[in-house]
Amino acid sequence: MLISNRELFKIIFKNIGKKGFFKILIQSTKVKQINQFYAEHEQDNSETFIQAILNKANIRFTFNTQDLNRIPTQGPFIVIANHPFGGIDGLILYKIFSIQRTDVKIMASHSLRMIKPLKDLILPMDTLNDNDPKEYRIKGSKTAFQHLNEGGCIILFPAGEVASFQHHHKMVTDHQWQYNAIKFIKKANVPVIPVFISEIAEPWYVKWLPKFIRLHRTHALPQELFFRNNIQIQCRIGKIIKPELIQSFESISQLGRFLRVKTYALGSALNVNQFFPSLKSSSNPQEIVPPIDNNVLINEINNLSKDYFLFKISQFKVFCAPAIAIPNVIYEIGRQREITFRQVKEGTNKSIDLDEFDLYYYHLFIWDDDKKSIVGAYRIGKGNDIFSKYGIKGFYIQTLFYIEEAFFPILKQSLELGRSFITIDYQQKPLPLFLLWKGILYFLLKNKEYRYLIGPVSISNSYSKASKALITAFIQKYYFENDYKNYVHPRTGFEPHLPEIDTDILLSTTNDDLGDLDKLIEEIEVNNVKIPVLLKKYLKLNARILGFNIDPLFNDALDGLILLDLYNVPQDVILSLSKEFNDDEILKRFEITSN
């Protein structure tokens, strides 16, 4: 018998006056069925018992069989997944991964080992619950690490409890992933495979009754059989996340958010709780990841929806697509970013320059159709979409600047730009940068709900302090955004101590002429370096700067936060774009008359 009369009376007595007769009645009517099911299957092995549960509830699950190739046939790894249904989730994943492996274990409450057929399958992991006693955490961790050290694989649900309706998301989603679970993953230092388990539409009582009638954790799994039945669940297995990438995260909270986004990215939406501490880059540059098979890139780009194609000039095609549509292109973009930025001492020093923001931002990129290669790219975030899903902390720029609420309306009307680069082979050619800018402006013009461009433009730490002081002083004098500057504050301000450099005297010879400033910087820098090209381009389009911040995660690059109001872009630029794209709607938006 799984639930004794004594246990039942304890439950009833404990809950009298809390949930009332309704709760007691529901518990009483289900206990008999639970005990009957358990009596029939108590002697089953784990495989038979799991199948009996799925059959009893008529639960069916589907997945792409090609994804099985992503499961290593040997060696340790950890499976992470969202947790929409409860114990059923673990059983489904066990069934899938045991196709390839015979050493699959599920991390779950130690009390589940009291269910005899599951005893050898369950690793007692109350360790993952941040509120559980320390002695449980230590004992459970040793057992789990031993299994991994022996080459086994583990299924883990970092949320530690079943998903429920989250009012701030207005949907059913996981609770915040447990800090100790993420800490365990990092300490394990093994590959991680994310899996997304789809939500389904269910009657209201299926979501709510388990909250009212939750029994001891031992009984929770059989109990689910009588509230969820005749459903079909879809699973999607992600690609392996290598240990090197996991170890590059020094912040447990940031790693947790990254892993969570990787998991939810496999689904139809990114529903992510916010962990936003900073990442720290390694002081010693890691070896850059190898390139992806070029045929994979070609196939992915050729199969892109035409909705993501912007235009073509010569052999160059320009696209703007969400990350979920271009996973292999994103990999190559991250690789090329790191290569390119290291050339100017702005790299992350990681093996690949990708972060969690890449997963839900759009990516504008140039493809050389002759050489079949990535030429350059920009990352673009749709402000209103980001704000509605994640709030202010969904923006990359908030990792660099504190942003006050009074500025939120501007953010909602903005496209956030960042991580721009042109690959080394194309940097001496003017066309690629021109194409990126044309793509950005065209994308902005076609998305009528957006008026502004906002984002950091970097001044490399390879510039001398004097040059950086001159550039910032010049901008503060002539190109600062005075209307909104009090709403944005740097997290790490730039405060050069240069008693021998009087910037006011130097700038008195420049007026507001960028060419004059170029000459000053060229004189100071040993390699005849001028103002960063992108910064100059922004300012020539009448952009303004909101503030400056030192980015310790980007080799201490100095970031200027630009804000470009589309209505301040020179009319000749707008007119030129209208003619090139043969789109009179652009002119109508700005009330410009074509000659």
**pLDDT, tens digit, for every residue of 89-124?**
889 999 999 999 999 999 987 667 778 888 888 887
Question: Would you state the pLDDT for residue 279?
Answer: 37
Instruction: Return the sign of the alpha-carbon dihedral for residues 392, 394, 395, 398.
Output: positive
CA 302 to chain centre: 25
Residue 39: CATH number of its domain? 3.40.1130
Identify whether residues 218 and 322 lie together within a single domain: no
DSSP string, 67-80: GGGGS-SSS-EEEE
Tell me whether residue 278 is in a domain: no
For the packed helices 217-224 and 87-97, what is the interaxial angle rounded to 10 degrees?
70
pLDDT-based confidence at residue 507 (cuts at 50, 70, 90):
confident
Residue 457 neighbours by CB distance under 10 Å:
23
DSSP H or E stretch at residue 156: strand 153-156
Query: Which position has the higher pLDDT, 170 or 481?
Result: 481
- Do 502 and 550 lie in one domain? The reply is yes
546 and 496, same domain (yes or no): yes
In order, the DSSP letters of 532-548 are -HHHHHHHHTT-EEEEE
451: buried, middle or exposed (CB in 10 Å: 19+, 13-18, 0-12)?
middle
pLDDT of 172 over the 50 cut: yes
Q: How far apart are CA 489 and CA 485, in angstroms?
A: 8
Task: Verify that 259 and 317 share a domain, yes or no.
Answer: no
Q: How far is CA 558 from the centre of its chain?
A: 24
pLDDT band of residue 36 (cuts 50, 70, 90) is confident
| CATH at residue 550 | 3.40.630.30
The reply to whether 274 falls in a domain is no
Residue 285 within a domain = no
- The more confidently predicted of residues 97 and 43 is 97
| Range among 163-177, 458-472, 580-594 with highest mean pLDDT value | 458-472
Provide the domain count of the chain. 2
**Position 32 pLDDT exceeds 90:** no
In a domain, 393, yes or no: yes
Number of H helices, E strands in the chain: 21, 19
Residue numbers of the domain that contains 59? 5-264
Would residue 288 count as lying in a domain? no
Q: Are residues 220 and 304 both part of a single domain? A: no
Rounded Cα distance between 200 and 212, Å, is 21
The answer to the question of residue 276 being in a domain is: no
